[in-house]
């Protein structure tokens, strides 16, 4: 990845904004002006945050393509058929990265051209604090150097792994949508703390940091979550009593069903 890499976002929604902030903070680009975003004039309010960061903004995708080495397709899946014909003639020398859920490489390749270098990638919003997780798969025209660029670029905002395309929808169900599941759990834990007399700000801090710490334990110790869970549970103690309540309420099954529902939704988009 060159020091002068220029990254463009077609689409300027929350995921594009999160990635842009992460790339700038992680120094994946030389400066904020090496990041650009475009969207229709009707959605110009979406560009305000990009402008505040110092990014270039456009209402013309061609102008964005002209000043970008890597172009990230960050529009909703249903908007993709409207965007691709507009840029079809401009993609020959660009590395294109689609983050649209459910849109397969074959579809992207067909709507652009057979020589297009296309990567399908699923990030998540914690990229904004450089604690994201992304997975990607590459089209047939993508070179090892292109793959290295993707790994280095998205590696500045969190973890990055290459997978088979058949796994991407399930990844969306786990990590793409997953932050929302975690926020719901944090909110519920904090509400429980408030119910028991804790101040609201302290309850949120305790719940959030507990989740961060538990995740870091899994990643850093490489210990199975069930083993780590058992280590917290004393015979007849508070934790095993709480876990018994969670099992009775169906928390485990509910989360598994949520991942399944999100995965299936990808195939319906």
Spatial distance between the Cα atoms of 216 and 225, rounded to a whole number of angstroms: 11
Cβ(141)–Cβ(105) under 8 Å?
Answer: no
Residues making up the binding site:
10-15, 61, 74-77
pLDDT at 86: 87
According to the model, what pLDDT value does residue 3 have? 63
The position carrying tokens 């992207």 is 108
Let me know: does 20 contact 125? Beta carbons within 8 Å: no
Phi/psi at 125 (5° precision): -65, -25
Q: Which residues are known binding-site members for NADP(+)?
A: 10-15, 74-77
**Amino acid 248: pLDDT:** 97
Model pTM above 0.75: yes
Set out the domains of the chain in order of their start, with CATH numbers: 7-165 (3.40.50.720), 177-267 (1.10.3730.10)
The binding site for NADPH consists of 61
Q: Where are any strands of DSSP class E within the chain?
A: 7-10, 35-38, 56-58, 70-73, 95-98, 117-122, 132-138, 158-162
Q: What is the mean pLDDT, run by run of 10 residues, along the chain of 269 residues?
A: 83 94 93 95 93 95 94 94 90 91 93 91 95 96 95 95 96 96 98 98 98 97 98 97 97 97 91
CA 159 – CA 127 distance, rounded (Å): 9
Q: What is the pLDDT of residue 2?
A: 58
């Amino acid at each position: 990845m060159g020091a002068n890499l220029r990254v463009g976002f077609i689409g300027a929604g929350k995921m594009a904004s999160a990635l842009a902030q992460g790339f700038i903070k992680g120094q994946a680009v030389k400066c904020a002006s090496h990041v650009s975003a475009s969207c229709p004039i009707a959605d110009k309010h979406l560009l305000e945050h990009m402008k505040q960061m110092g990014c270039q903004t456009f209402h013309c995708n061609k102008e964005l393509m002209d000043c970008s080495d890597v172009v990230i397709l960050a529009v909703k899946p249903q908007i993709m058929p409207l965007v691709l014909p507009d840029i079809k003639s401009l993609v020959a020398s660009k590395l294109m990265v689609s983050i649209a859920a459910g849109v397969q490489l074959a579809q992207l390749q067909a709507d652009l051209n057979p020589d297009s270098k296309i990567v399908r990638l699923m990030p998540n919003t914690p990229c904004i604090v450089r604690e994201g997780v992304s997975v990607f798969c590459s089209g047939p025209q993508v070179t090892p150097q292109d793959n290295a660029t993707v790994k280095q670029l998205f590696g500045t905002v969190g973890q990055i792994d290459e997978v088979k395309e058949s796994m991407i929808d399930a990844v969306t169900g786990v990590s793409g949508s997953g932050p929302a599941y975690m926020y719901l759990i944090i909110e519920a834990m904090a509400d429980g703390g408030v119910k028991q007399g804790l101040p609201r700000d302290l309850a949120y801090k305790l719940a959030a940091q507990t989740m961060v710490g538990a995740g870091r334990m899994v990643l850093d110790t490489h210990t199975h979550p069930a083993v780590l869970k058992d280590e917290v549970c004393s015979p007849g103690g508070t934790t095993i009593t709480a876990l018994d309540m969670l099992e009775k309420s169906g928390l485990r099954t509910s989360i598994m069903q949520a991942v399944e529902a999100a995965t299936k939704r990808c195939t319906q988009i």
